[in-house]
């Protein structure tokens, strides 16, 4: 019963994340005006605003202008529901579970905005770093680990970006990526931020390799690194601790 409630709640949160994904890169208000068709600007009634269900029933089209409604809307809602259910199963109704769920929601927004607009909005990453540090005073990973995480995460990426810039004379990594990895370090600590970097690089190579093999190698450069960082951090936030324990138990 509780799982169903968490899933439904997650889908509604996902619906709000969709609003953030659409409006933040455009600098629009998140609360006003209410949801409307992005094509004909007609305000949506409540039954057109139900997570996932409305999209399926209306077959992904606006009732008035027939403009297609992106499939990212239901995907984000389902992904958020699944994330909140996983967080609940692993952490229960605890403060840590809530903080990890909030962090995961921010990552979902960053993943899509980087994919669609190639930006990681400062309004998420900069306060994100502060919230991560604040929470670390009374939650894992603890404030020392959190500060070290910002330094290791942001610092490593900044060094890689600088080296790349010096060698190639063009920007390979943006400051948005550096701030994102700083935020990940603040929430997860230095061990999990390193795990995030490893996972993101691995996922990046896999996807890049698959695109080259399928003859779409030019697409490789169309995929921003921030999307891979967000996916890596989502995995690290939920399953990272068991992975790190296993690793250090094995070699340490
Ligand atoms: Zn419309």
**Angstrom distance (rounded) from CA 103 to CA 237:** 8
Query: Please, are residues 196 and 236 in contact by the beta-carbon 8 Å criterion?
Result: yes
Mind listing the pLDDT tens digit for each residue in 174-197?
889 999 999 999 999 999 999 999
Mean pLDDT for 21-40 is 90
Q: What confidence score (pLDDT) does residue 222 get?
A: 66
The mean pLDDT of the chain is: 90
**Angstrom distance (rounded) from CA 150 to CA 185:** 5
Ligand 1 centre from 121 Cα, in Å?
Answer: 27
pLDDT at 219 over 80: no
Instruction: Note every long-range contact of 94-101, with CB atoms under 8 Å and residues 24 or more positions apart, other chains counting.
Output: 95/138, 95/139, 96/139, 96/140, 99/135, 99/139, 99/187, 100/187, 100/237, 100/238
Q: What confidence score (pLDDT) does residue 221 get?
A: 64
Q: What confidence score (pLDDT) does residue 112 get?
A: 95
Ligand 1 centre from 63 Cα, in Å?
Answer: 7
pLDDT at 40 over 60: yes
Q: What confidence score (pLDDT) does residue 220 get?
A: 57
Query: Please, are residues 51 and 82 in contact by the beta-carbon 8 Å criterion?
Result: no
Mean pLDDT for 113-127 is 94
pTM of the model: 0.93
**Angstrom distance (rounded) from CA 27 to CA 63:** 27
pLDDT at 252 over 60: no
Ligand 1 centre from 219 Cα, in Å?
Answer: 31
Residue ranges of alpha helices (H) inside the chain are: 2-23, 53-57, 72-91, 95-117, 122-136, 143-168, 175-213, 225-251
Q: What confidence score (pLDDT) does residue 251 get?
A: 62
Ligand 1 centre from 45 Cα, in Å?
Answer: 12
Mind listing the pLDDT tens digit for each residue in 128-173?
999 999 999 999 999 999 999 999 999 988 888 888 888 887 776 7
């Amino acid at each position: 019963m509780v799982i169903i409630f968490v899933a439904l709640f997650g889908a509604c949160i996902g619906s709000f994340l969709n609003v953030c994904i659409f409006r933040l890169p455009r600098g629009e208000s998140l609360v006003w005006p209410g949801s409307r068709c992005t094509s004909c600007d007609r305000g949506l009634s409540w039954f057109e605003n139900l997570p996932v269900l409305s999209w399926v029933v209306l077959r992904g089209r606006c009732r008035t202008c027939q403009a297609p409604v992106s499939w990212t809307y239901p995907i984000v809602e389902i992904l958020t529901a699944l994330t909140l259910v996983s967080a609940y199963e692993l952490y229960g109704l605890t403060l840590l579970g809530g903080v990890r769920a909030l962090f995961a929601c921010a990552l979902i927004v960053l993943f899509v905005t980087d994919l669609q607009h190639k930006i990681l909005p400062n309004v998420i990453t900069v306060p994100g770093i502060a919230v991560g540090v604040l929470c670390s005073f009374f939650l894992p990973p603890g404030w020392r680990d959190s500060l070290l995480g910002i330094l290791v995460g942001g610092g490593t990426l900044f060094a890689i970006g600088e080296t790349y810039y010096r060698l190639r004379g063009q920007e390979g990594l943006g400051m948005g990526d550096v701030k994102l990895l700083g935020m990940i370090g603040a929430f997860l600590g230095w061990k999990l931020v390193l795990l995030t970097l490893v996972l993101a690089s691995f996922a990046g190579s896999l996807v890049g390799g698959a695109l080259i093999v399928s003859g779409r190698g030019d697409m490789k450069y169309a995929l921003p690194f921030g999307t891979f960082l967000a996916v890596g951090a989502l995995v690290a936030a939920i399953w990272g601790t068991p992975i790190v324990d296993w690793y250090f138990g094995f070699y340490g």
